Amino acid sequence: MCGRFYVPTEDMSDELLQILNRAESRLQAADPAFRLPRGEVRPGDWAAVVSMNRAGQPSSFAMKWGYHMQGPGSTGNTADKGKKLLINARCETAAQKPTFRDGMVNRRCLIPAGAYFEWDHRKKPLEKYRFFLPDGPLMWLAGIYRFEPDSRYPVFTVLTRPAAANIAPLHDRMPVIVPPEMHARWLDRSLPPTPVLDASITDVRFFPA
CATH number of 69's domain:
3.90.1680.10
3-state helix, strand, coil split of the chain in percent (to 5) is: 20, 35, 50
What would the pLDDT profile of 109-128 be if each residue is shown by its tens digit?
999 999 999 998 787 888 99
Lowest mean pLDDT among 91-95, 151-155, 161-165, 178-182: 151-155
Q: Is 119 exposed, middle or buried (0-12, 13-18, 19+ CB in 10 A)?
A: middle
- Give pTM, 2 decimals: 0.92
**CA dist list (Å): 99 to 70, 95, 121, 173:** 9, 9, 28, 20
- Domain range for residue 160? 4-208
H helices present in 81-180, as ranges: 101-106
pLDDT of amino acid 72: 41
Total domain count, the chain: 1
The beta strand positions in the chain, using DSSP E, are: 4-7, 39-41, 46-52, 58-65, 67-68, 85-86, 88-90, 108-113, 115-120, 127-132, 139-146, 155-162, 173-175, 205-208
Residues near 47 by beta carbon (within 8 Å), at least 6 away in sequence: 5, 7, 36, 37, 41, 62, 63, 64, 65, 111, 156
The separation between CA 203 and the C-alpha centre of its own chain, rounded to angstroms, equals 18
Q: How confident is the model at residue 73 (pLDDT cuts 50, 70, 90)?
A: very low
Beta strand ranges found along 19-57 (DSSP E): 39-41, 46-52
pLDDT at 10: 81
